[in-house]
Amino acid sequence: MQNTPILPPANLGILGGGQLGRMFTVAAKTMGYRVTVLDPDPNAPAAEFANRHLCAPFDDQAALDELAECAAVTTEFENVNADAMRFLARHTRVSPSGDCVAVAQNRIQEKAWIRKAGLQTAPYQAVCKPEDISDASAEFLPGILKTATLGYDGKGQIRVKTLAELQTAFAEHGGVDCVLEKMVDLRGEISVVVCRLNSENVQTFDPAENIHENGILAYSIVPARLSADVQQQAREMARRLADELDYVGVLAVEMFVVGDTHELVVNEIAPRPHNSGHHTIDACAASQFQQQVRIMCGLPPADTRLLSACCMANILGDVWGGDGSEPNWLPLQSDPHSHLHLYGKKAARKGRKMGHFVTLAQDVDTALQNAQRLHTVLKK
């Protein structure tokens, strides 16, 4: 049963109906599948396109019973209830597996897995109780104290320079499990999206170079401005990690580019399509969402080839007017080389991801410049 390909018009289920669920739904519907989305938000971005929106909490048994009727189920986020995943796995095909999702939920486990795969992380120490902080912790200073679970967009992180600051930061986090990570000599950040059905069927997208503003991803450019060697190494590392986890699905691997030698260090993984892979819709032979559909259906990943240099720019709620008025869409919509994606979210809040656009160009520097220019004029 596990190996029989699932074909249209089968019904596919997804936990979570945010923008990732929305782009998954569009991809699946385009291929002729039906889609059921579970999300407690009545305005969930994916609901507009889904055949069925189960508007209920993620642990609602009646909703999970319905989702279990789907031919296969996937997820758009990692903080999904492990019991819900286990329940679904008893009734239908679930990818990625609950075990793989659990690894990504906890930075302590995640780093242990990365090292087990023979890959580097920043030097780190788990800090779960006050006694874990000792003179030996000085080795990881200056560093960042990150909560082990539930961090995103730089939330749940405190920078510390001394042991005293470390103690205060641990107390500030409320004594929850943390990871103390040594600051590395960051020269850049990249991510690789790997698509894996099994050991014979694996594809990686070209690494994306990520540019953050205020702790939130602002631009991703592809190809990354790194040597071909380093890029190849990044793809191999992502693949090795997916193999080590016997991963089934789409996995994003974030890496730091460290020092003059551009050594690659794995930061974290996301068991799903990733913000830095949104360009794949407009600039690659297949998108990361098409890959998610294919793999959950037991089909091999499609060609990941990059068809054009590009820049993805996030559109945050910040560019809406204080009175809720729309941004200045005309320049962007008039540009023949840019593609707008809006997520249909009702309220534009500061820092909220409302959409993105992808600008294509002959080379990546031009793509970045054009995207920055178009982004600047969004705000009236």
* Contact footprint for ligand ATP (CB under 6 A): 122, 144, 146, 151-155, 181, 183-184, 186, 189, 212, 217, 267-268
The pair of structure tokens assigned to 171 is 């107390």
Q: Which residue, 122 or 312, has its beta carbon nearer to ligand ATP?
A: 122
CA–CA separation, 233 and 137 (whole Å): 31
Output the known binding site for ATP: 107, 146, 151-157, 181-184, 189, 212, 267-268
Q: Which is nearer to ligand ATP, 11 or 267 (CB)?
A: 267
Distance, in Å, from the CA atom of 103 to the CA atom of 60, rounded to the nearest integer, reads 23
Q: Round to whole Å and give the CA distance between 70 and 91.
A: 9
Q: Maximum distance among all alpha carbons in the chain? A: 61
Closest CA to 207 of 285, 279, 303: 279
Angle subtended by helix axes 82-91 and 98-105, to nearest 10: 170
Q: How many CB atoms lie within 10 A of CB 343?
A: 20
For ligand ATP, the closer of residues 66 and 153 by Cβ is 153
255 vs 99, 141, 268, 291, 368, CA distance in Å? Answer: 22, 20, 7, 21, 20
Question: Which is closer to ligand ATP, CB of 39 or CB of 181?
Answer: 181
CB of 3 vs ligand ATP, minimal distance in Å: 34
CB of 143 to ligand ATP, least distance (A): 7
Nearest to 302 by CA among 315, 291, 314, 318: 291
In the complex, what is the shortest distance from the CB of residue 68 to ligand ATP, in angstroms, rounded to a whole number? 30
Residue 155 tokens, joined: 């939330």
End-to-end CA distance of the chain: give it in Å, rounded: 55
For the bound state, the minimum distance from the C-beta of residue 103 to ligand ATP, rounded and expressed in Å, comes to 14
Least gap, CB of 31 to ligand ATP (angstroms): 29
- Report the run of H or E that residue 138 belongs to, with start and end: none
Nearer to ligand ATP, 94 or 257 (CB): 257
Q: How far is the CB of 124 from ligand ATP (least distance, A)?
A: 8
Cα–Cα distance between 304 and 289 in angstroms, integer? Answer: 12
In DSSP notation, 150-200 reads S--TTTTEEEE-SHHHHHHHHHHTTT--EEEEEPP-EEEEEEEEEEEEETT
Tell me whether residue 163 is exposed, middle or buried, using C-beta atoms within 10 angstroms of its C-beta: 0 to 12, 13 to 18, 19 or more.
middle
Nearer to ligand ATP, 276 or 292 (CB): 276
Q: Which is nearer to ligand ATP, 38 or 252 (CB)?
A: 252
- The least distance separating ligand ATP from the CB of residue 343, rounded to whole angstroms, comes to 17
Q: How far is the CB of 51 from ligand ATP (least distance, A)?
A: 31
Nearer to ligand ATP, 9 or 259 (CB): 259
- Which segments are annotated as binding site? 107, 146, 151-157, 181-184, 189, 212, 267-268
